Chains A and B, each alone.
Chain A
Amino acid sequence: SQQGEEDPQALSIQEGENATMNCSYKTSINNLQWYRQNSGRGLVHLILIRSNEREKHSGRLRVTLDTSKKSSSLLITASRAADTASYFCATDARGTSYGKLTFGQGTILTVHP
């Protein structure tokens, strides 16, 4: 079963708007990662946040982590049509082999030009 659960399952916005996706998980983690998957292509790593970090930025991406609530959010600012993709959170659970990622079901983001 998937540990991470993304919300919403699908998100449709206009170019220039911000997109926020949420992820909840169940166990303690070493880190949480966000990946993007374009239609028919492999996953691309976006950002990694460690369990002792609360917020991280990378370009137009902002990730927050609340370990007390076991949740994370990914904010994409000033979205572009090229951001259209599926976004997955993946947790590296504490107490398991480092690097054994557990993915959520993903959020499908559609950005309309």
Chain B
Amino acid sequence: DTGVSQDPRHKITKRGQNVTFRCDPISEHNRLYWYRQTLGQGPEFLTYFQNEAQLEKSRLLSDRFSAERPKGSFSTLEIQRTEQGDSAMYLCASSLAAGDIEQFFGPGTRLTVL
């Protein structure tokens, strides 16, 4: 399968714990995006990378959130000291360089914070 993959697909954690999600984009895509989607809503932009550079972060991304793309390939999203409000689906997408082009989404990681 050459699509975008995310791991894990589901994560249940207790409030206060740290969690890390991984995204593997389509191999030739140099842009990688993270979105968050809560029930009944559309995805909300969190951050994106052009190769290994993180170019923009949403105001939604508090100091407890950090994302990396160390070698310009896979990316990780870490949430520290999780809160119940962090419960959501975290979606990763990738695309070729900027322009009028589509994004390819992964299946998402569903986070539940108890």
Contact B101 A97 (CB under 8 A): no
Considering the complex, give the chain A residue whose CB is closest to the CB of B31.
A99
Contact A98 B42 (CB under 8 A): no
Q: A42-B91, A42-B105, A42-B106 are in contact. Are A101 and B45 (CB under 8 A)?
A: yes
Bound-state Cα–Cα, A103 to B41, Å: 9
Q: Taking the complex as formed, is A69 at the interface, i.e. its CB lies under 8 A from any CB of chain B? A: no
Complex interface: chain B residues within 8 A of A33 (CB):
102-103
With a 10 A CB-CB cut-off, give which of A2, A4, A99, A106 has the most chain B CB atoms. A99
Complex interface: chain B residues within 8 A of A99 (CB):
31, 33, 48, 95, 98, 101, 103
> How many residues of A are counted as interface, with CB atoms below 8 angstroms from the partner's CB atoms?
26
Contact B48 A43 (CB under 8 A): no
Of A50, A88, A100, the residue contacting B45 (CB under 8 A) is A100
Tell me the residues in window 19-33 of chain A with beta carbons closer than 8 Å to chain B beta carbons.
30-31, 33
Interface set of A (CB-CB < 8 Å, partner B): 2, 4, 30-31, 33, 35, 41-45, 48, 50, 88, 90, 92, 97-106
Interface set of B (CB-CB < 8 Å, partner A): 4, 31, 33, 35, 40-45, 48, 55-56, 91, 93, 95, 98-108
- What are 5 A-B contacts defined by CB distance under 8 Å? A2-B44, A42-B108, A90-B42, A100-B45, A103-B43
